Amino acid sequence: MPDPPEHLKELYHWDRTNHWHAFTQMAEYEPLVIEQADGVWMVDSHGRRLLDGASSMWCNVHGHNHPAINSAIEGQLHRVAHVTTLGMTSDTTVKLAKRLVDIVPTGLEHVFFSSDGSSANEVALKAAFQYWLQCDDPQPQKTRYLTFGQAYHGDTLGAASVGGIGKFHDLFQPLLFEVVRMPSPDSRRLPPGLAGEAAVRYFLDEVEEVLKEQADTLAAIVIEPMVQGAAGMVMQPPGFVRGLRELATRYDVLLIVDEVATGFGRTGSMFVCDAEGISPDFMTLGKGLTSGYLPMAATITTKKIWETFLGDSESGRALYHGHTFSGNPICAAAALASIDLFEEEQTLEKLPPKIERLGERLATLAEHPHVAHARQRGMIVAMDLVQDKQTGEPFPTKARVGQRVAEIALDHGVWLRPRANMTYAIPPLAISLEEIDLLMDAMTAGVQQATAAAQT
């Protein structure tokens, strides 16, 4: 990238010095500033058009600058911009709560709004803990959570405690509570010869062994269903989440399903829970809830759990947790418009050929000598970048192969989120077949050039 023109130098200076970016080493940061966007395309401050290959951190569903969502936001602005949910609410937020209940799995009937996925998971953790204190048969010893290796549920202290990615949270270990952590149900770590139902059984048996011994102290199982995103797109065998629901019921442990990243069509169905045919005790949503337009998340639970929080003002049964912008009506308007678009534009019905095209392109790239474990779930594709395909030996971290793939893709007009020794794409669901080809062309060029350079 050439030196920026004079009118951008000050902006870039502020970006490097005043704006502290998330998950970014600011000593190495090179400004990438987006000025406008439309559909699956973003335009940066240099005027470059960049295909949004990671849906602006897995959020964008229907495309940027969608007129229907824009109109809903504008209409709400002319009515009321903010109403607290502490003892009151807006009509738009009430309608969204009912609309969510209508589309999530049967049995989930009560919606608590927050502003981000971390907070949505925090609500579920707190509510699960409190449930066991005040249910009909109180079990105050149920204070722990069963979680999975390499999990990511957010960065607030509770959400970080049930996470399992060391580089994100190890530093804060003295601040976190202990959990029961299982190995990640990763299809790449199966014993030779196991697949299908046998693979599902293998991972479920691991969980059941722990439940047999520790269910009496466990408040809930917490899982990112089907795909563990921040772990590097770790994918579980289909049927695992369904089996987990059965085990949770059998051993009297609640099930928290974190669909913050997988919800709203990412894996091909509206929710992974739909594909798995289950209804959890808590479902958490975020990211795609407003199609990435505004910060909003939701924790949805059952009548059984909800009723344990009911009582008079002296009972102490209320959930004492809240957010200033919980249920913000402008966010709710965007979410309602996004949900409407799933029906109006037949978003899910149009996915099969897109999923197929992504799969075809991924299969071709999987033949590359430095690509291993090419994997796909719906509109999510990922692959590991390895020095030796036979042994799976990764490239040295200092080679920064994943970073280089993203840089090359950017030169080809596609934005990918850099990862150390893997690369992935999660485009907006609104992407066309032609744009999928552009995306995969750029990824292919990045893999070819970055791995060749790393070998020299």
Q: According to the annotation, is 47 in a ligand binding site?
A: no
Q: Which of 171, 176, 184, 174 is nearest to 159 (CA)?
A: 176
The alpha carbon of 42 is separated from its chain's Cα centroid by a whole number of angstroms, namely 21
Instruction: Give phi and psi for 377, each to the nearest 5.
Output: -135, 105
Q: According to the annotation, is 258 in a ligand binding site?
A: yes
Beta-carbon contacts of residue 400 (< 8 Å; ≥ 6 apart):
420
Beta-carbon contacts of residue 398 (< 8 Å; ≥ 6 apart):
none
CA dihedral 410, 416, 422, 424 (to 10 degrees): -130
Q: According to the annotation, is 311 in a ligand binding site?
A: no
Q: According to the annotation, is 322 in a ligand binding site?
A: yes
Q: According to the annotation, is 287 in a ligand binding site?
A: yes
Spatial distance between the Cα atoms of 40 and 291, rounded to a whole number of angstroms: 12
Spatial distance between the Cα atoms of 126 and 386, rounded to a whole number of angstroms: 41
Token duo for residue 146: 């069963």
| DSSP label at residue 89 | -
Classify 413 in phi/psi space as left (phi over 0), alpha (psi -120 to 50) or beta.
Answer: left
Q: According to the annotation, is 52 in a ligand binding site?
A: no
C-beta neighbour count of 187 within 10 angstroms: 18
Q: How many CA atoms lie within 13 A of 183 on its CB side?
A: 13
Classify 173 in phi/psi space as left (phi over 0), alpha (psi -120 to 50) or beta.
Answer: alpha
Q: According to the annotation, is 368 in a ligand binding site?
A: no
Q: Which of 382, 429, 422 is nearest to 405 (CA)?
A: 422
Spatial distance between the Cα atoms of 52 and 69, rounded to a whole number of angstroms: 18
Q: Which of 402, 412, 397, 401 is nearest to 445 (CA)?
A: 412
Q: According to the annotation, is 12 in a ligand binding site?
A: no
Instruction: Give phi and psi for 313, each to the nearest 5.
Output: -65, -15
Q: According to the annotation, is 118 in a ligand binding site?
A: yes
Contact 244, 207 (CB under 8 A): yes
Contact 158, 312 (CB under 8 A): no
Inter-axis angle of helices 196-214 and 240-250, nearest 10: 30
Spatial distance between the Cα atoms of 232 and 423, rounded to a whole number of angstroms: 8
Residues annotated in a binding site for pyridoxal 5'-phosphate: 117-118, 258, 323-324
Residues annotated in a binding site for substrate: 152, 287, 322, 417
Residues annotated in a binding site: 117-118, 152, 258, 287, 322-324, 417
